[in-house]
Structure 1
Amino acid sequence: MASHRRPKPPNAAYTAALTASAAAAVAVSAQTASADPLPDPTKKGVQAQIDRLYEDATQATEKYNGAKEKADKLEKQVKDLQETAARKQGDLNDLRDRLGVIATAQYRSGGLDPSMQLLLSSDPDKYLDTASALDRLGDRQTTELKEFQSQQRDLAQQRKQAAEKLEDLGDTRTELGAKKQEIQSKLAKAQKLLNSLSAKEKAEIAKKEERADRSSERAKLGNEASATQRAASAFEAAKSRVGLPYVWGATGPGSFDCSGLTSWAFKQVDVSIPRTSQAQANIGTRINSLSALKPGDLIIMRTDLSHVGFYAGNGQILHAPKPGAKVRYESIARSGMPFMWGVRM
Structure 2
Amino acid sequence: MAAHRKPRQRPYTGTAARTAAALAITGAATAAALPGSAHADPRRTPAQVEAEVDRLYHDAEVATERYNGAKERAAAAAEAVDNLRDEAARRTERLNAARDSLGTFAAAQYRSGGLSPTVQLAFSSDPDQYLERASFVDRIGDRRAVEVDAVERQVARIAQLRAESGKKLAALAARQAELKKHKASITAKLAEARRLLATLTPAERTAYADADAGPAGSRADRDMPRGSVQAPSARAAAAVAFAYGALGKPYVWGATGPSSYDCSGLTQAAWRSAGVSLPRTTYTQINAGHRVPRSELAPGDLVFFFSGISHVGLYIGNGQMIHAPRPGAPVRIAPIDQMPFAGATRVA
Q: TM-score range by the shorter chain?
A: 0.7 to 0.9
SS at match of 1:41: helix
* Counterpart check, 1:80 vs 2:83: yes
Match of 2:307 among 303, 308, 318: 303
**Structure with the higher helix share, 1 or 2:** 2
The number of residues matched between the two structures is 289
Pick closer, same or farther for the CA change 1:225–1:111 going to 2, 3 Å. farther
Q: Is the 8 A contact 1:36 1:58 kept in 2?
A: no
Please say if 1:107 is aligned against 2:85. Answer: no
Amino acid at match of 2:276: V
Instruction: Give the structure 2 partner of residue 145 of structure 1.
Output: 148
> CA separation of 1:231/1:215 partners in 2, compared to 1, >3 Å: closer, same or farther?
closer
Instruction: Normalising by structure 2, report the TM-score.
Output: 0.77
Which of 323, 339, 347 is matched with 1:336 structurally? 339
Query: Counterpart amino acid of 2:269?
Result: W
1:49-106 deviations in whole A, cap 9, x for unaligned? Answer: 1000000000000000000111111111111111111111000000001110121011
Residue 299 of structure 2 contacts residue 317 of structure 2 at CA under 8 Å; is this kept in 1? yes
2:242 is aligned, of 237, 244, 250, to 237
Query: Which residue is equivalent to 1:283?
Result: 288
* Structure with more relative contact order (C-alpha pairs < 8 Å, separation 6 or more): 1
**Alignment gaps of 5+ in structure 2:** 5-14, 25-47, 116-137
Shift of 1:314: 0.9
Give the corresponding residue for 1:42.
20
Q: Give me the TM-score of the superposition, normalised by structure 1.
A: 0.78
- Larger Cα Rg: Structure 1 or Structure 2? 2
Percent identity for Structure 1 against Structure 2: 43
CA contact (8 A) 1:302 1:340 kept: no
Q: Matched residues in 1 for 2:332 and 2:209: separation?
A: 16
Q: Secondary structure at the match of 2:288?
A: coil
Cα distance change on mapping 1:163 and 1:75 into 2, 3 Å? same
**Any gaps of 5 or more consecutive residues in structure 1?**
1-33, 113-134
Aligned equivalents of 1:319 and 1:235: distance in 2?
11
The 4+ residue runs of structure 1 with deviation greater than 6 A are none
- How far residue 107 of structure 1 moved from its aligned partner, in angstroms, is 0.5
The one-letter code matched in structure 1 to 2:251 is: Y
Task: Give me the CA root mean square deviation.
Answer: 2.4
Counterpart AA for 1:254: S
What amino acid maps onto 2:272 in structure 1? K
Relative distance call for 1:338 and 1:310 in structure 2 (3 A) is same
Please name the residue that 1:60 is paired with.
63
Classify 1:143/1:99 alpha carbon distance in 2 versus 1 (closer, same or farther; 3 Å): same
- Match for residue 123 of structure 1? none
